Structure 1
Amino acid sequence: MINEKELRLDYFIDPQRKVFQDPEHFCFNTDTRLLAQFSHIKKGETVLDIGTNNGVLLVYASQFAPKKLIGVEVLEHSYELACFNAGQFIKQECEIIHAPIQDVSIDPVDVILSNPPFFEIRELHPDTKITKRALGRFEINCTLEELISSAARLLKSNGRFYFVHRPDRIFEIFLMLGKYKFSVKRIQVAYDARSRGAKSLLVEAIKDGHTKTRIEDSVWI
């Protein structure tokens, strides 16, 4: 059960757009903000957020007057928090599903968003304790291929898939997108101003598309 006294009320991008977060669990970060600002959502569309966590991307998407918002979350506490935030801040029809994305069956949607776990299980040290935050960082519940195959299954033909991932997995990302019949329409790389290294890769992919890829101007964090 959600205890509001344990939550923190933060704003996301716009001070007028607020969301409750649990500091003990995975909270939205720079990648979440980058993905929100990279995505394009049109009035009347149905939007699915895979791994919705506390529902912040759904709250952000609600400003564009979508027809329906759907969030899928496998972790029970995050699911409950997403339901709470949806009830507080979303006026459109909104459904939060508590299930692994691999088991979800819904009508195809227009847009899919996802800020998924980035790190492979083999990168997890055997002695590392699986914390609540680690569950949002490692591919324990959903691998990259499972994410992309699920997006292909749940997206309409010519629908748009927006996600953020690690630049050092770009070859695997493009390989999997091709395997599941996506074309890459846009990519953008976010760099860390401190290390001057590539930190995040943003992707817009089109299901059954045949688009050429446009590389957007880089973003400096």
Structure 2
Amino acid sequence: MVELKEFERIDYLFRENRKIIQSKRFFSFSLDAVLLADFVNLPQKRQFKYLDFCSGNGIIPIILSAKTTNPLEGIELQSELVEMARRSIELNQLENQITIHEGDLNEFPHGNADYDFITCNPPYFLLENSKEIHRLTSHHLARHEVSLTMDQWLFKASKLLKDKGRLYIVHR
């Protein structure tokens, strides 16, 4: 049994028959993540490697797990969101399929072009152009290019994707 912490709730993804833990203290997934996951075209008959940048609470890999039995990976900077994603993975009994790495994407090893598919629902807003910065640091990191710029995650994707690999993003 997965335990909920203060301010947490379980939301249901009925189409995928999945559940996800969310918290008022952190940025909840939006329609952008659902549309991005829906747009991803994964092969049905061959093995592939997949990675989700800025994985947050794991929403995109959790949705994609309903489309494939292949292993799925995500990377997230905020340790509380990593832990929440891992509990959602456990809640859905997907521990053998989804792995969430904790850390800074800039430091994620990129020696080999290993991945066939990468998704990214990145921070949209430039820090210097932001009129209003959200009071919660977790929201601030999710919405603004504080620890990761577009140039940085595009560079990282170029190093991690195989030749003819696909990058799926949503951006404003």
TM-score (norm 2): 0.86
Contact 2:157–2:167 at 8 Å: present in 1 too? yes
Q: Which residue of 2 aligns with 1:207?
A: none
Q: Which runs of 4+ in 1 moved over 3 A?
A: 125-131
Q: Distance in 2 between matches of 1:15 and 1:154?
A: 28
Q: Match for 1:95: what amino acid?
A: T
Which amino acid counterpart does residue 29 of structure 1 have in structure 2?
S
Contact 2:65 2:97 in 1 (8 A): no
Post-superposition offset of 1:139:
0.5
Q: How many percent identity over aligned positions?
A: 28
Q: What is the root-mean-square deviation of aligned Cα atoms in Å?
A: 2.1
- Match 2:100 to one of 90, 96, 100: 96
Q: Which has the higher contact order (CA 8 A, sep 6+)?
A: 2
Give the drift of 1:66: 4.1
Larger radius of gyration: 1
Secondary structure at the aligned position of 2:128 is classed as helix
Residues 157-196 of structure 1 deviation map (CA, whole Å, 9 limit, x = unaligned): 1111100001xxxxxxxxxxxxxxxxxxxxxxxxxxxxxx
Unaligned runs of 5+ in 2: none
Q: Distance in 1 between matches of 2:18 and 2:132?
A: 40
Q: Name the structure 2 match of 1:22.
A: 23
Distance in 2, Cα, partners of 1:13 & 1:138: 30
Match of 1:58 among 61, 82, 85: 61
Q: How many equivalent residue pairs?
A: 165
Q: Is the 8 A contact 2:133 2:140 kept in 1?
A: no
Residues 157-196 of structure 1: matches in 2 within 5 Å?
A: 157-166=163-172
Alignment of 1:76-95 (within 5 A): 76-89=79-92, 90=94, 92-95=96-99
